[in-house]
Amino acid sequence: MSSAILKIHCTDKKGIISSISSFICRNNGNIITLDEFVDHPSNTFFMRLEWDIFAFSLSREQMEAEIAAMGLEYNYADNWQIFYSDRKPRLAIFVSKYDHCLWDIMLRYKAGELKCDIPLIISNHPDLKQIADLFGIDYKVVKVAPDNKLEAENEQTRLISEYNIDFMILARYMQILSPEFVARFENRIINIHHSFLPAFEGARPYHQAIERGVKLVGATAHFVNNNLDKGPIICQSTMPISHEDSVDDLMVKGRDIEKLVLSQAMKVFLDHRIFVHNNRTIIL
């Protein structure tokens, strides 16, 4: 089955759902899912609609032109996107030396859980090349130092363009991206943070947790923006701990929950379910 997924956000107005649903019906489409939400404080309407296009009477170009024309009437002309199930997004993974998130992504990818192609892994160290080789994925080492950050990011950008990358995952990539790099790929870079944000930022988070006597450890997947670890949150989860847990125990539990949360974030992104509104996400 081939399907199209339409995402719209705009000022709320009567008739948007009716107009698009009627358009799909009269052109021999069949709606699979329709989810919508209105953020009342800002009067903003969000909709994700998926429909079967196997027997659709319009070409994709004609269909998109019709949707754009309706956008002029309903004020979403600049705020809509369409995706097709037969076109998989292309992912680049950024890593350093921690391997647990990379292994998890690779195994889920091989099992067919992730609806994407992964042609490229970029790292500032050579340590994890063997994992890329095992799965037949190109591994590029781009060394990063305080005095070559611009050159390194230019090379990363060149690789992203060369491999036609749609989005990136920072799978425990231990470098801070520049504002210019982040702006170039707005809402297309997902990071996993070893904490239930905003607690325990920075180095040695599990040591901080032990010192504070916390009863939960967690992880947060979020889009990267220019505020360190404060981008729009996609997924979060926690796991109970006790005073009997050592730092090593917390690290093991933390790695487990990082893998789970990151995979959840990837799946909702790949299903085109995320809207970014101000500094938060709407997930339909």
Other residues' Cβ atoms within 10 Å of the Cβ of residue 138: 15
Residue with tokens 């698009």: 20
Structure-token pair, residue 256? 């487990």
The gap between the terminal CA atoms of the chain, to the nearest Å, is 22
Contacts of 46 (CB under 8 A, 6+ apart): 8, 9, 36, 37, 38, 39, 275, 277, 282, 284
Burial 21-58 (b: 16+ CB within 10 A, else e): eebbeebebeeeebeebebeeeebbbbbbbbbbeebee
The answer to whether 202 touches 168, Cβ cutoff 8 Å, is no
Q: What is the DSSP letter of 230?
A: -
Whether the CB-CB separation of 178 and 152 falls below 8 Å is answered with: no
**Cα 154 to Cα 118, 148, 150, distances in angstroms:** 21, 10, 6
Amino acid at 43: N
Catalytic residue among 229, 249, 256, 271: 229
- Contacting residues for 98 by C-beta, under 8 A, at least 6 apart: 171, 172, 174
* 249 given a catalytic annotation: no
Just list the catalytic residues.
Answer: 229
